[in-house]
Structure 1
Amino acid sequence: MHIFQITFAISLPYMALAGHQKLIRSLNSGIGISNVTVNLSTATVIGAMVNGVESFAGIPFASPPTGNLRLRPPQRLTKHVGVVDGTGVATACPQQVFREEDLLGAASLLQIFPNFTAGIPVPPKESEDCLTVTVTRPEGVKAGDNLPVLFWIYGGSFEIGFSAANDPANFLHFGIALNKPFIFVAVNYRVNGFGFLPGKEILAEGSGNLGLLDQRMGLEWVADNISEFGGDPNRVVIWGISAGSISVLNQLTLYNGNHTYGKTMKPLFRGAVMSSGSIIPTNSIASDKAQAVYDRVVKAAGCSNARSTLQCLREVSYETFMNAVSSEPGPIAYNGFAVSYLPRPDNKTILDSPERLIADGNYAAVPMILGSMEDEGTFISLLQPNLTTTALLAQYLRQTYFWGASETELVDYINTYGRGFSEVVLGSPFRTGARNEVFPGYKRRAAIIGDFVFTLTRRITLLLTSFVNPNVPAWSYLGSFAQGTPYLGTGHGSDMTPIFSGTSTIHAAYRLRTSLLNFIYDLNPNEAGEAPFWPQWGTGYQQLQILPNSSRLITDNYRSRNFDWILNNLDILRV
């Protein structure tokens, strides 16, 4: 379960899907546990077969980024490391530690949802030695079967997250039942200050955006090794949620769109799926806001007076560096919107803000699906109950996020979302009238945050890509299947449970899963006879809206006044 994914929808069994008895048999088939082995040039990997699915967890693809390799680009694993026991759970990269003040700041959230922390995944083990991939495949798949590959990048605000947080077994069984088996690969990448520490010192050394480089090396590992697991390296689709979805966009823009690899210079992926996240307009890794993060981490680690502060960060103990990294606000915090750690232009891997790269055609133009939930901003907006006026909200947004905008400019932006009673009626959860205003200003803030970070920046991404490469297909969806969830609506991450577990509403699970499987196979989410037909976004700006019991087409032009303001002011809205 994703960190922001709190599911309140009723889980319904697949037996209610009339005509899908084959699916039920598949989900209940395969009894027992046994081991299976795959031999690679760098390891002999022992996996576990459980109920018809084989999993090979924690296969290393890089040298441990520890000691002097901390805060450096990943070093490709070239020597044979012996036998890898992949029958358990992959070790997670270091997770951002929740500070006491963060949890106190979440008091309003705890009052509404006292058990929300039960939904936060906790890895069984964390270590800096974490650069691994986990391969999951249907039972009996072997080298030469050439199944398509779904490469998964987890979310977590670039501060938490790990490859074992989502179990793909149920989704794999679903694919088998529909005669569309596939291989699922999840990559571990460094997060928080271990993977995305900014600063001019990082820039000078060329050690920026390490988490993205981890992801890229994981893709290169797939190109080199996935055929041994029965996968086709020429049929890889990358997919992510939230920060993972933003990472997918960054993988498109990495190295100005060069996504080829090896002597043959073949593409590492042929399609991309972005679930809640695309462009985040960003300033340089050495901007004032970014440098302030570096300086605070250096101070917290006791390295301020060192001859080389960056080398000092490498030499301090794991515990010292972990505590220094976690001195920044975590994702569930009053100031969590600040997002201290995220990909930024570094003159090496990302050469400019992503919207500029796309506008200039400097990205990998592959078929893509971009989706968002109707109420992306509701969860995080529960964490600031005191921002009850426009002036307070403008001050908060400038201090935490939009350093380049004045409070006057931000007031103008906020007021595009209504004033007085209209800000409640027009706010998020959308289409709920005056309901769900848990405290003054909540619904308007939820609309603003959700639109800028996810929903309307998705539209900007599609607008730019369709203009630069009109012949490259793209589709978009809007999840609206959990509108009745109190305070949250169809909140951020709501589509993960339907896809991975098949629960939520029957229709949402089936439509999301089948569309994704169709895309993995044919780079098109449609299947003959399925209704409604899902047209490409560039054909009339049509978006598929997924409701509890059906889907329909809508025009992607809602909140056009807010969209126009964002589009015309991107230069002052970079983070």
Structure 2
Amino acid sequence: MRVLTSAATLVGFAVAAPSSTFNATTTSVLLPAGTVIGSVGDGVDYFGGIPFAQSPTGSLRLKPPVRLESFDSGSVHATGVGPACPQMTGLDTTPLFLSVLAVPNVLETLSFGSATGDETEDCLTMTVIRPQSVHNATDAKLPVLFWIYGGGFETGSPQMYDASAMIRESVAQGKPMIFVAVNYRLGAFGFLGGSEVLADGAANLGLLDQRMGLEWVADNIAAFGGNPDAVTIWGQSAGAMCVFDQLALFDGNNTYKGRPLFRGAIMNSGSITPTEPVDGVKAQQVFDTVVEAAGCAPAANSTANSTKLECLRGVDYETFYKASNSVPAYLSYDSLAFSYAPRQDGRILTDSPEVLAQEGKYAAVPMIIGNQENEATIFSLFQENITTEAALVSYLNDVFFHNATREEVEGLVATYPSNPDSPAGIGAAPINVTYPEFKRLAAILGDWEFVFPSRLLLESYPANVSAWSYLATYESGTPILGTYHSTDMPRLYYETDEVSRSIQDTYISFVDCLDPNYYAKGNSSGYLTRWPRWQEKKQLLEFGANYTRLITDDARAASYEYILARLESLRL
């Protein structure tokens, strides 16, 4: 096993041990597979690293997950933090990126959730945190919050953030719930594309890991005191994109043993990302690069009848791990042009996510969806050579939009002013100087990857299924970055200020009764505005630094319409 040292921990996407204090006391739960032994402390029971699938190693590498029917020794000690799947480690430390780390509080926020942890290919496990008050109460039937972590499909773990504070708060509000997090394969281990992968049925393995995790909850959560019929799936960033994918898997069939796997969904900073197919140009290029790096190209293949994919399954772990890291990471010049991502394969995902949304091929459940105001500023710190509009067009055309003509990309860029008001990055500091096209690139990437997909999904949502949407602006004064990607995570997992307490109120209420407005505290300060359904007037709830208000969801309408009309050309 490897200890995580990924530089990606700087954006809070790596493994963190639970911050609660656990003592030597243990608790146990009997499951069909055997006994699970967890830790007790600080008002919660914690179970980390419960295996739900057979080890995806050897002949099961790059194969769909195989359900684990029983624990080898009859029991599992789930008293530790649990493992992390193999991580990608790339990071471009440009002068601009390093200077941003000197801004007060930025490093602390970006480091939130980062720590060391064991990294292993044998990583398909679940984490469960429940209120200590349901100890031995298997008939409690508490609602369940099912977490899918983010990290660009390259990094992350169920232990990224400790949900103990949220669980205790739910108990204090009289709305106790159970938190569950799923481990899923990343990088080439979980999201390798290419024509050979498609033909083998080995596409979108990370999504299948998540789906099996949901099935594990359906089969086992009642033993922990949970209600399998009251599951809300929640994700942030790539995890939020996976949440929509779970809605859209198998054209929206979210049933298992005749019952829905979830009844609600929350998507923070991610939803529908337009993508080329599994055997498209981008995915094939990544596959070929990984094959070459692993020594599995035909000339180096010592087994004449072996396919490239069989060769990848047969190489040792270190070789395949290094090959997985041989392509650009998301904290680099290529930014959000993910090397690895879920892609349509005709069966698991039958089409590009935006098409599935527009055609209604997804399980429409009550949802909360929203974004940070300046989603892409953190991902635009690595392209300091983009000093002209022509260079910006070339970058977008070459790195992101291979299928678009240069004229189409020029038209997209022309819809954005050269110095847009948002992303703002308005702080007055000596380092508040970037490259000439920084703000425009950040605005384009933030809109294309986060803001506009949310709007498109909301516009496609059935009028009779409730949806609430938000925009966070509480860090608008941060130099260069504004309210940047991941600034919501500390507020969601810990009560840091009135903003975080109010956001937690709405989420706990939604998990409890599928309506974010029934919070228990009453918000006596008057901070929290009542949150109307988006379908009523197409309004977002803006979370400001010391206020909330309703705003119309129509920002940069001309850019939105331009992209909407060309989604097939502007796929990743």
Give the TM-score normalised by the residue count of structure 2.
0.91
Q: Aligned-pair distance for 1:527?
A: 2.0
Equivalent residue letter for 1:336 = S
- Match in the other structure for 1:172: 167
Kept after mapping to 2: 8 A contact 1:208/1:285? yes
Which of 92, 95, 105 is the matching residue for 2:87? 95
- Residue 131 of structure 1 is matched in structure 2 by 124
- 1:165-192 superposed Cα distances (whole Å, 9 cap, x missing partner): 1110111111111111110001000011
The letter for the 2-side match of 1:110 is L
Counterpart residue number, 1:113: 101
Q: What does 1:563-574 correspond to in 2, within 5 Å?
A: 563-574=560-571
The 10-residue stretch of structure 1 (281-290 or 526-535) with the greater mean CA deviation from structure 2: 526-535
Amino acid of the structure 1 residue aligned with 2:76: V
Alignment of 1:285-434 (within 5 A): 285-305=278-298, 306=301, 307-418=306-417, 423-429=418-424
Name 2:29's counterpart in structure 1: 38
Partner of residue 3, structure 2: none
Q: Which residue of 1 aligns with 2:265?
A: 272
**How much has 1:415 moved relative to structure 2?**
1.5
**1:259 corresponds to 2:254:** yes
The CA RMSD measured in Å over matched residues stands at 2.2
Amino acid at match of 1:74: P
The answer to whether 1:475 aligns with 2:468 is: yes
Give CA-to-partner distance per residue, 1:412-469, whole Å, 9 cap, x none. Answer: 1112111xxxx2242412777999452211111111111111011111111111xxx2
> How far 1:31 sits from its partner (Å)?
8.4
What amino acid is the match of 2:40? M
Do structure 1's residue 454 and structure 2's residue 441 form an aligned pair?
A: no
Cα distance change, pair 88–31 in 1 and its aligned pair in 2 (3 A): closer
Distance in 1, Cα, partners of 2:428 & 2:240: 30
The corresponding residue for 1:140 is 133
Alignment gaps of 5+ in structure 2 = 1-6, 14-18
Name the amino acid aligned to 2:143. Answer: P
Match of 1:526 in 2: 517
- Indicate the SS of the match to 2:46: strand
Please tell me whether the aligned partners of residues 247 and 363 of structure 2 are also in contact (alpha carbons under 8 angstroms).
Answer: yes
Shift of 1:108: 2.4
Q: Contact (CA 8 Å) 1:337, 1:400: kept in 2 or not?
A: no
Q: Secondary structure at the match of 2:25?
A: strand
Out of 545, 550, 558, which is 2:555 matched to?
558
Identify the match of residue 64 of structure 1 among 55, 58, 62.
Answer: 55
Aligned: 1:500 with 2:500: no
CA contact (8 A) 2:290 2:324 kept: yes
Aligned pair in 2 of structure 1 residues 197, 245: CA closer, same or farther (>3 Å)? same
Amino acid of the residue matched to residue 545 of structure 2? P
Shift of 1:347: 1.3
Question: Aligned equivalents of 2:493 and 2:113: distance in 1?
Answer: 16
* 1-structure distance, mates of 2:236, 2:333: 22
Deviation string for 1:477-508 (max 9, x for gaps)?
111111111111111111110010122xx222
The one-letter code of the counterpart of 2:223 is: E
Shift of 1:96: 0.8
Alpha-carbon separation, structure 1, partners of 2:122 and 2:12: 30
SS in 1 for 2:63: coil
Q: For this pair of structures, how many residues does the alignment match?
A: 540
Residues in 2 aligned to 1:572 and 1:203: alpha-carbon distance in whole angstroms: 22
* Residue identity opposite 2:314 in structure 1: E
CA-to-partner distance for each residue in 1:515-557, whole Å, 9 max, x for gaps? 1011001111112766522111011101100011121111111
Whether the 8 Å contact between 1:378 and 1:429 is mirrored in structure 2 is no
- State the SS of the aligned residue for 1:572: coil
Tell me if structure 1 keeps the 8 A contact 2:263–2:366. Answer: yes
The answer to whether the Cα contact below 8 Å between 2:358 and 2:460 also exists between their aligned partners in 1 is: yes
> 1:230-278: per-residue Cα shift (whole Å, max 9, x none)?
000000000000000000000000000000001xx10000000000000
Structure 2 contact 510–516 (Cα < 8 Å) conserved: yes
Going from structure 1 to structure 2, the CA distance change for 1:149 and 1:339 (only over 3 Å counts) comes to same
- CA, structure 1 residues 513+349, in 2 after alignment: closer, same or farther (shift >3 Å)? same
When residues 137 and 119 of structure 1 are mapped into structure 2, their CA distance, relative to the original with a 3 A threshold, is closer
Give me the identity figure in percent: 45
Superposition deviation, residue 312 in structure 1: 0.1
* Structure 2 Cα separation of the partners of residues 391 and 29 of structure 1: 51
* Contact residue 358 and residue 457 of structure 2 kept, 8 A: no
Matching residue's letter, 1:75: V
Aligned to 2:436: 440
Residue identity in the other structure for 1:325: S
Partner residue of 2:187? 192
Whole-angstrom CA distance in 2 between matches of 1:97 and 1:335: 14
Q: Distance in 1 between matches of 2:529 and 2:423?
A: 27
> What residue identity is the alignment partner of 1:174?
E
Alpha carbons 1:2, 1:165 under 8 Å: kept: no
Cross-structure match for 2:4 = none
Identify if the C-alpha distance between structure 1 residues 549 and 2 changes in structure 2 by more than 3 Å, giving closer, same or farther: farther
Quick one: which amino acid aligns to residue 281 of structure 2?
D
Report the Cα offset of residue 50 of structure 1.
1.5
Deviation at 1:112, TM superposition (A): 2.8
Q: Distance in 2 between matches of 1:126 and 1:6?
A: 16
| Cα shift readout 1:124-143 (whole Å, capped 9, x = no counterpart) | 11111100000001113121
In structure 1, distance between residues paired with 2:168 and 2:220: 23
